[in-house]
């Protein structure tokens, strides 16, 4: 074996070690997906067949199919590369590597499109959550739609550019990393705005609950209130986790790294973590929200937690007023002086007639 072939084999082994590590990580996440997806489908099928429920069913099935296709694609890529490179030893190593890469062009293209598709689907679900809580605000709708359209446009353009790079060698490979970073930054912005809007609604909800139960322990005043608050916290925490992961990956994507360096490994795994988290986040949140009987599936704000809180405030105030009236009537009866015996024995004026 020539020195060039030894060097090429060492590089190939390093790449395959990285690919196998990625495959193990994806397989673990896919195993989790296999466990939670049936739970999500069962939970949704038990609910009333509204338009929101049907949309969530479609989203869960679509994300599961994308996850299955992506896992199968990565597994096939690793197995095919190893098997083809270690066979036909009569040919040179360079020829075997070139044949393997050329035979897997469609696989590279498929994996290239998996990331933008998963990011767009995840962002659409997050924006939908914020949309439901702000149905009466046109400005919020415009901001959310703008973020989603910009995110979709840059993701599609990035996928097209990466596909062209795979098919034809271009002169500016750095543009691909810039596009990937821009895609993640836009997805991060959409997630951050939507999560912030939900946090604002959660704060308003908590203030209304304090007005509804000023003299009672908020945690024990109403089980429904506690359940709705926990759902809002789940939405906020899941969005914050995705924001943190996307921000870390976007920063790493802007840093120039040496191939197969520790920073390059960190960037690759962070990109994979963001992609899988964007895929799994809607499914996990749907399960938690459905099991906790969330209010976000209502079609109008009058049916949401906000309207329930307002009605509870009105009812509590009405109850207080009624109690005060009863107490005043009781006090009036108690302090009214009793009639004297002579007054009680004297007949009424019309009796003398």
pLDDT of res. 101: 72
Closest CA to 294 of 62, 132, 64, 61: 132
What would the mean pLDDT of 2-25 be, rounded to a whole number?
Answer: 77
Q: How confident is the model at residue 296 (pLDDT cuts 50, 70, 90)?
A: very low
Distance, CA of 218 to CA of 193 (rounded, Å): 29
pLDDT at 245: 84
Mean pLDDT on 114-138: 83
Q: Give yes or no for residue 305 having a pLDDT over 60.
A: no
Q: What is the pLDDT of residue 177?
A: 58
pLDDT tens digit sequence for 247-277: 888 787 777 666 667 777 787 788 788 878 8
Does residue 229 contact residue 207 with C-beta atoms inside 8 Å?
no
pLDDT higher for 229 or 328? Answer: 229
Mean pLDDT of 208-235: 61
Query: What's this model's pTM, rounded to 2 decimal places?
Result: 0.68
Per residue in 33-55, pLDDT (tens digit) is 888 888 888 888 887 788 878 88
Query: Would you state the pLDDT for residue 252?
Result: 79
Check pLDDT > 80 for residue 321: no
| pLDDT number for residue 180 | 66
Cβ contacts of 268 within 8 Å, gap of 6 or more: 18, 22
Q: Which residue would you say has higher pLDDT here, 189 or 347?
A: 189
| pLDDT tens-digit series, residues 168-198 | 754 444 445 566 677 778 888 888 888 888 8
Whether the CA torsion 139, 142, 145, 146 is positive or negative: it is negative
Q: Give the mean model confidence (pLDDT) for residues 206-227.
A: 59
Kind and range of the H or E run holding 181:
helix 174-212
Q: Which CATH class is domain 3-322?
A: mainly alpha
The number of CA neighbours under 13 Å toward the Cβ of 211 is 16
Assess contact for 70 and 276: CB atoms under 8 A: no
Q: Would you list the domain boundaries of the chain? A: 3-322
- The whole-angstrom separation of Cα 289 and Cα 313 is 25
Task: Work out the pLDDT band at 142, boundaries 50, 70, 90.
Answer: very high
Given a cut of 50, whether residue 307 has pLDDT beyond it is no
Query: Would the pLDDT of 205 be above 70?
Result: yes
CB count in 10 Å sphere of residue 238: 22
């Amino acid at each position: 074996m020539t020195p060039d072939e030894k060097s090429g084999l060492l590089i190939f082994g390093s790449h395959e070690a990285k690919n196998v590590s990625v495959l193990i990580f994806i397989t673990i996440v896919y195993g989790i997906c296999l466990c939670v997806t049936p739970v999500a489908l069962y939970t949704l099928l038990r609910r009333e067949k509204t338009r929101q429920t049907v949309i969530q069913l479609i989203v869960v099935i679509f994300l599961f199919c994308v996850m299955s296709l992506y896992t199968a694609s990565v597994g096939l890529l690793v197995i095919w590369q190893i098997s083809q490179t270690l066979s036909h030893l009569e040919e040179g190593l360079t020829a075997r590597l070139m044949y393997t890469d050329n035979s897997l062009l469609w696989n590279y293209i498929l994996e290239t499109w998996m990331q933008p598709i998963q990011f767009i689907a995840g962002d659409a679900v997050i924006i939908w959550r914020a949309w439901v809580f702000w149905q009466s605000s046109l400005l919020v709708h415009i901001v959310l739609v703008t973020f989603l359209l910009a995110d979709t446009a840059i993701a599609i353009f990035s996928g097209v550019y990466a596909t062209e790079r795979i098919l034809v060698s271009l002169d500016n490979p750095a543009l691909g990393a810039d596009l990937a970073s821009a895609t993640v930054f836009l997805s991060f912005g959409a997630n951050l705005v939507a999560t912030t809007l939900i946090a604002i609604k959660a704060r308003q909800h908590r203030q209304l609950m304090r007005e509804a139960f000023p003299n009672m322990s908020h945690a024990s005043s109403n089980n429904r209130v506690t359940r709705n608050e926990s759902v809002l916290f789940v939405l906020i925490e899941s969005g914050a986790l995705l924001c943190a992961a996307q921000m870390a990956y976007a920063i790493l994507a802007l840093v120039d790294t040496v191939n197969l360096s520790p920073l390059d490994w960190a960037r690759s795994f962070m990109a994979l973590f963001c992609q899988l988290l964007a895929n799994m986040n809607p499914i996990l949140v749907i399960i938690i929200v459905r099991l906790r009987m969330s209010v976000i599936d209502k079609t109008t704000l009058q049916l949401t937690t906000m309207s329930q809180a307002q009605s509870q405030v009105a009812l509590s105030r009405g109850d207080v007023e009624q109690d005060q009236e009863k107490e005043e009537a009781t006090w009036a009866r108690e302090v009214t002086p009793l009639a004297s015996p002579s007054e009680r024995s004297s007949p009424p004026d019309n009796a003398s007639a």
